[in-house]
Structure 1
Amino acid sequence: MPAKPTIARIWRGRTRREIADVYEPYLRAEGIPLLEKTALGVQLFREDGETETWFTTISYWASMDAMTAFTKGGPTKVHHLERDAEFLIELPERIEIHRILVDRQGLR
């Protein structure tokens, strides 16, 4: 039986709107595959504002231990991609860790 996610790890970063279309494929190519290799699942969200675009990545983990193994001991430590400083308005300083209390998919 596959492991069930109990932890969601949430990262948020924002870019200037005019470079969001360049950052998105970079994030998809460089950030998401790292999570796909080890997390139970990953989602990437984008919210375009007038002058800024927010990107949110949520990865799902079976346990804090599994997530800590991925982050090499620091589950709340931000692991910036090589070019994040070039794209992001500021480098995020924290990661949110949430326990999953309800997990229902396919809701109508």
Structure 2
Amino acid sequence: MSGKRPTVARVWRGRTTRERADEYEAYNFEVGIKPLIEKALGVQTFREDREGESEFVTVSYWESVEAMAAFTGGDPTAIHHLPRDAEFLLELPKAVQVLRLRHSQGDIGAEEDA
């Protein structure tokens, strides 16, 4: 993260079939995560593989709600679906969760290709 300190986190969740999870993960990183990395103070991506589906969670960290709103074009909870999301996702998310960051301890970074 840059020298600025995050005060809010934006949490997005989406699910796809287990069979398409690897393909969606690569697509989501190229088309969705890379542009987000350029704007947010930090970005973390998570994946949980279940028997028939995989859930992806993206957490981005922002200096303020205003900075997040500038990225989304106004409403910080607005969803920006990627062009192929309807093809991959089991359902299109309707909103994101916006959380105020209260406390953070330790190094929470992960290996780049963990």
Partner residue, 2:36: 35
Partner of 2:76, secondary structure, is: coil
- What residue ranges of structure 2 are gaps of 5+ in the alignment? 109-114
Compute the displacement of 1:106 (Å): 2.6
Partner residue, 2:102: 101
Compute the displacement of 1:54 (Å): 0.1
Partner of 1:18, secondary structure, is: helix
Taking only the aligned residue pairs, the percentage that are identical comes to: 53
Compute the displacement of 1:21 (Å): 1.1
In 2: Cα distance, 1:53 partner to 1:74 partner: 28
- What residue ranges of structure 1 are gaps of 5+ in the alignment? none
Partner residue, 2:71: 70
- CA RMSD between the two structures: 1.2
> How many correspondences in the alignment?
107
- In the superposition, the TM-score normalised over structure 1's length comes to 0.95
Q: Does 1:15 align with 2:16?
A: yes
- In the superposition, the TM-score normalised over structure 2's length comes to 0.90
In 2: Cα distance, 1:48 partner to 1:66 partner: 32
